[in-house]
Amino acid sequence: MNPVLEAIRSRRVVRSMTGEPVARADLEAVLDAARWAPTAGNRHLQRFVVTDDPGTLRVLRMVSPGMIARPPAAIAICVDRALAADYGFPPGAAGPSVDVGTAAATILLAAHSLGLGAVPVTSFSRAAVAVVLRLPEGTTADMILCLGHPAPGGPGPLRRGRKVTWQDLTTFVP
């Protein structure tokens, strides 16, 4: 089987992580992969803010109700809104948000390829996260990715009903 397709099929959200630190080289590898994610107009408006500091992670969890995992590292995927405006993107333009999604998908696959677990978080106070991570004016956090080593026996993937096939999600138009 194609290794890329196998990685896509085998990647899972990991909500239970060990306390083992994530190696700096692994963090750098996923960040290097993220820079290759497609971006609107190849503008690279996304910014990555990383922390593996236990105190910062503790405060981040306090302002992020969606952060169920207790990760040893987190990457906030942010958008430089000021730069987006300079490039002519109107407020609310879809391009920068799509960039966050492509960067997240790339990071999730890169983390999986390194044996790391990851879970995306979108339920958090954007204002509080901006303070905790000391984001520059005009930069907003749009998603947080928790990274760590999967805990043995952690919860499996959520199963709701039947398995969805690509055919269930697709319509071909003549």
CB 34 within 8 A of CB 110: yes
C-alpha–C-alpha distance, residues 74 and 147, integer Å: 6
Domain CATH code at residue 15? 3.40.109.10
Give the tens place of pLDDT for each residue, 116-164. Answer: 999 999 999 999 999 999 999 999 999 999 999 999 876 655 555 667 8
pLDDT band at 4 (very low <50, low <70, confident <90, very high): confident
Could you tell me which residue, 113 or 68, shows the higher pLDDT? 113
How many domains, in total, are found in the chain?
1
Give the tens place of pLDDT for each residue, 28-87. Answer: 999 999 999 998 888 888 999 999 999 999 999 999 998 887 999 999 999 999 989 888
Domain region containing 54 = 3-169
Separation in Å, CA 1 to CA 7, 11, 84, 88, 140: 10, 15, 40, 43, 39
In a domain, 174, yes or no: no
DSSP string, 29-86: HHHHHHTTS--GGG---EEEEEE--HHHHHHHHHT-TT--S--SEEEEEEEEHHHHHH
What is the longest distance spanned by two Cα atoms in the chain? 56
In a domain, 161, yes or no: yes
Could you tell me which residue, 3 or 58, shows the higher pLDDT? 58
In a domain, 54, yes or no: yes
Token pair 């990715």 in the structure block, residue? 145
